[in-house]
């Protein structure tokens, strides 16, 4: 079952000058993330248990790399990794609405079962565009695993098959998620707003 986070953000905002020695209370702790990713790995393994070829995990760079690595290690089925580099944020905290795809999958996807792996789904524009492209190249199926779902910012309808956490409308960093390229290394997820 997807975990829905409804509590308020920490009263002490992290701001943009995160004090690494004394960070504020995380929105989602590393332990919560680890437990949820293990459960997602079991769910993914069950859904794809009967496919004839290894699952193809298409990781949306850069934010989803940490999540994808942990999810991959939690699977009990064979899986391959492919990557797509996409961006719509730049250096801001809101999507620009313009998707930039700098790198698409290199391996063959015809007749393969694909799991898109995303760090956070908010507007839905990025995953929707990538999903359409992968379907067009002949994938047998395309599903989506997202660590975070932020439905308050949704612009297009997106079906998330495997969701880690549903979060309120706050900008988050840590566990692969960044602000202007920084803070991906943090083990917990923090709210900046």
Please list the active-site residues. Answer: 122
Are 193 and 176 a contacting pair, CB within 8 Å?
no
Give just the sign of the alpha carbon dihedral 89, 156, 142, 172. positive
**DSSP strands (E only) in 62-182:** 79-87, 100-103, 113-121, 141-149, 162-166, 172-173
Where residue 44 falls (left for φ over 0; alpha for ψ -120 to 50; beta otherwise) is alpha
Are 117 and 58 a contacting pair, CB within 8 Å?
yes
**DSSP strands (E only) in 48-127:** 55-61, 79-87, 100-103, 113-121
Q: What is the rounded distance in angstroms from the CA atom of residue 36 to the CA atom of residue 166? A: 12
Peptide bond into 160 cis (omega under 30): no
What are the C-alpha distances in Å from 154 to residues 77, 90, 159? Answer: 32, 18, 11
């Amino acid at each position: 079952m997807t975990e829905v986070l409804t509590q308020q953000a920490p009263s002490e905002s992290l701001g943009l000058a995160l004090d690494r020695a004394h960070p504020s209370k995380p929105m989602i702790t590393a332990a919560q993330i680890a437990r949820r990713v293990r459960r997602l790995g079991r769910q993914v393994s069950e859904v794809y248990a009967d496919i004839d070829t290894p699952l193809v995990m298409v990781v949306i760079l850069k934010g989803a790399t940490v999540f994808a690595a942990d999810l991959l290690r939690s699977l009990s089925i064979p899986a391959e990794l492919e990557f797509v580099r996409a961006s719509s944020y730049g250096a801001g905290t809101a999507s620009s609405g313009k998707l930039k795809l700098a790198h698409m999958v290199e391996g063959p996807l015809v007749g393969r079962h694909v799991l898109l792996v995303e760090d956070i789904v908010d507007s839905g524009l990025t995953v929707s565009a990538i999903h359409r492209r992968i379907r067009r190249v002949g994938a047998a199926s395309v599903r989506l695993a997202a660590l975070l779902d932020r439905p308050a910012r949704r612009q297009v309808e997106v079906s998330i098959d495997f969701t880690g956490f549903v979060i309120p409308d706050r900008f988050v960093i840590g566990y692969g998620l960044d602000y202007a390229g920084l803070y991906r290394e943090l083990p917990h997820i923090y709210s900046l707003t």
